[in-house]
């Protein structure tokens, strides 16, 4: 065997033993929305920051997968490295996150960011690891509003009888059931077809999602209920996390913070102009909504939440104030 070949084999063996010291790693991150969306903005910031902090030793590939439950399942088993999803299906994996999905729990975005970026949010991120995912950062989907094809909705009574697509989220389904609607849970990937075929009359989503997915093409009426604040979460697979050095883990956390900022900035800009744009695209928009009346109509659901969810945590969230 030639000297050169022997040297090459020795080098390969060394790399094999010590691990590829400076081998490049690629992390794939999936999310359910268009590239040019509030999740896309977060994913791009995550990519740019992580690649910069590791001098491109870690490269990030962004992919779309509009089935959030599937993304989370794949992250748990390690076939997908990272993801951004709303908390919609997360409660089926990390039950404590259901407390975040209660209608009218968060007063406004300042309240939501204060809770999620503080002690409560960190406690909830830590709850992901025992459930097979690494919670990296809280991002934002936004305040959810009701759309439908049957009528202008101004009161909770006018929700009665509507077949409303909900996420696969027991807390949301309970709320719409309490209002007398027919909650129909399905993944986001099935939504547009269900609306086109009339399988459901309506759905509920934040302005950035309605705008970014052109739901105005399959929905006539928008009511600014703001009935739920929808957090989003950036999670990483334990399979990836276990291979990262402490320094690279710190870089992932830093990149998560950058993702949250870019994502939230994009939500703010979408919400600033989105309602007018949806009106321009032909939707009727009901802006004057008596939210106290919706909250009162949800009283039976709140009684169930108090029994089934974490009352102390809910009170901590409600009591949060900016200092």
In the complex, minimum distance from the CB of residue 97 to ligand EAX, in angstroms, rounded to a whole number: 14
Question: What number of chain residues touch ligand EAX (CB under 6 A)?
Answer: 12
Alpha helices in the chain (DSSP H): 3-18, 38-53, 68-77, 109-116, 119-126, 170-178, 191-197, 207-212, 238-241, 246-280, 291-297, 299-308, 311-319
Give the C-alpha distances (Å, rounded to integers) separating 282 from 62, 203, 207.
32, 17, 15
Helix/strand/coil for 228:
strand
141 binds ligand EAX (CB under 6 A): yes
68 binds ligand EAX (CB under 6 A): yes
87 binds ligand EAX (CB under 6 A): no
By CB under 6 A, name the one of 74, 86, 97, 219 that touches ligand EAX.
Answer: 86
| CB-CB contact of 231 with 138 (8 Å) | yes
81 binds ligand EAX (CB under 6 A): no
From the list 169, 297, 274, the residue with the least C-alpha distance to 230 is 169
- Rounded Cα–Cα distance for residues 252 and 160 (Å): 45
176 binds ligand EAX (CB under 6 A): no
Interaction pattern, residues 196-225, with ligand EAX; x per rule: CB under 6 A: ---------x---x----------------
| CB-CB contact of 124 with 226 (8 Å) | no
140 binds ligand EAX (CB under 6 A): no
Question: Which CB atom, from 58 or from 174, has the smaller least distance to ligand EAX?
Answer: 174
137 binds ligand EAX (CB under 6 A): no
Residues lying near ligand EAX in the complex (CB under 6 A): 32-33, 68, 85-86, 88, 141, 167, 188, 205, 209, 230
């Amino acid at each position: 065997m030639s000297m050169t070949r022997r040297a090459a084999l020795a080098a390969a063996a060394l790399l094999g033993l010590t691990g590829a010291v400076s081998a490049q790693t690629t992390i794939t991150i999936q999310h359910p929305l268009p590239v040019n969306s509030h999740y896309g903005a977060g994913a791009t910031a995550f990519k740019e920051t992580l690649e910069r902090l590791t001098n491109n030793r870690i490269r990030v590939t962004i992919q779309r997968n509009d089935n959030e439950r599937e993304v989370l399942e794949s992250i748990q088993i390690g076939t997908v490295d990272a993801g951004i999803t709303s908390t919609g299906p997360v409660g089926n994996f990390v039950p404590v996150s259901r407390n975040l999905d209660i209608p009218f729990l968060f007063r406004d975005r300042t309240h939501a960011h204060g809770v999620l970026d503080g002690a409560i949010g960190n406690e909830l991120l830590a709850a992901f690891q025992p459930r097979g995912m690494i919670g990296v950062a809280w991002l934002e989907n936004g305040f959810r509003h009701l759309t439908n094809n049957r009528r202008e909705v101004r009161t909770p009574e006018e929700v009665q009888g509507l077949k409303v697509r909900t996420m696969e989220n027991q807390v949301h389904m309970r709320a719409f059931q309490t209002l007398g609607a027919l909650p129909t849970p399905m993944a986001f990937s099935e939504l547009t077809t269900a609306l086109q075929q009339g399988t459901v009359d309506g759905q509920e989503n934040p302005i950035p999602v309605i705008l970014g997915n052109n739901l105005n093409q399959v929905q006539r009426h928008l009511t600014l209920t703001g009935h739920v604040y929808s957090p989003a979460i950036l999670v990483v697979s334990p399979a990836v996390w276990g291979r990262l050095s402490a320094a690279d883990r710190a870089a992932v956390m830093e990149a998560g913070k950058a993702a949250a900022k870019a994502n939230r900035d994009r939500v703010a800009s979408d919400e600033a102009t989105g309602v007018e744009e949806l009106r321009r695209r032909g939707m009727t928009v009901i802006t004057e909504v008596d939210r106290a009346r919706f909250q009162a109509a949800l009283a039976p659901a709140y009684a169930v939440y108090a029994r089934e969810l974490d009352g102390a945590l809910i009170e901590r969230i409600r009591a949060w104030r900016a200092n």
